[in-house]
Amino acid sequence: MLEYLPVYLPIFFSLTTILMLILFHWTISGSSASIQGKAGLITTLLSLWLVLQASLAINELYSADTNSIPPKIMLLGILPMLLVILSLFISRKGRIFIDSLPLERITHLNIIRIPVEIVLYLLFLNKVVPEMMTFEGRNFDILAGITAPLIAIYGIKKGILGSRIILTWNFICLALLINIIIIALFSSITPFQKFAFEQPNIALPNFPFVWLPTFIVPIVLFGHLVSIRQLLIKIRS
């Protein structure tokens, strides 16, 4: 754990993570009746996942050994979430779940990127992530969070923007997400580190910031993939 950080920082990020869990539960609750009943179970499973990742981080499984290939956080924290997302897209029941999620609420999920970017900036000021991971560097992900309510309200709810424009927005925001994922990966202290050697990314393998790559980012990624699938189906129909 990064015990020298100001106490408000881990508290702020923990609240951000809880907000993400609430928003995702709210998203599922707005789906079809058959899916709504599973919202509680899914939220419980995700809560247990957060507890597991917190335990692994607190016990320094991710931060102690920086030379493992692949990095343990990728193997035990990120890969399982990616496999769950993949299974939802390739299975029939998974696609039913995906297609029932309300597009407007999925879009609102991206609001979480605003407090996340604030946290990253504060982590930079405390010298535990590089500047390139912030909006003052090469990370422009905050734009997705700022524009998400506009797309959700004016694009989807009021129908002012066409499906192609909303689809384009999703692709742009997905690219912004991939950009920061790459920066975070190659600035971490692992065999894959390529830059930020003077001030590397040492925050994310530690509690509670481990929840960013193992929970928040996968949920945001899932939201974009779901939105893109729904919009493509709508455009083709």
Burial code (b: 16+ CB inside 10 Å, e: under 16) for 37-76 equals: eebeeebeebeebbeebbebbeeebbbeebeeeebbbbeb
For 155-174, the pLDDT digits (tens) are: 999 989 999 999 999 999 99
Over residues 45-99, the pLDDT tens digits come to: 999 999 999 999 999 899 887 778 888 999 999 999 999 999 999 999 999 999 9
pLDDT digits over 199-220, tens only?
A: 888 899 999 999 999 999 999 9
pLDDT by residue (tens digit) across 15-43?
999 999 999 999 999 888 778 888 999 99
Which amino acid appears at position 74 of this protein?
A: M
Band (pLDDT 50/70/90 cuts) for residue 197 is confident
Here the tokens at position 4 are: 């020298």
**Reported confidence tier of residue 4, pLDDT bands at 50, 70, 90:** confident
Give the SS3 label for residue 207. Answer: coil
Q: Does the structure show a pLDDT above 70 at 1?
A: no
Residue type, 129: V
pTM above 0.85, yes or no: yes
Residue 219 pLDDT:
97
Cβ proximity of 85 and 218 under 8 Å: yes
pLDDT given for residue 163 in this prediction: 93
Give the pLDDT mean for 116-144.
94
Bond before 191 cis per omega within 30 degrees? no
For residue 102, the SS3 value is: coil
**Residue 22: CB atoms within 10 Å:** 11
User: pLDDT averaged over the chain?
Assistant: 93
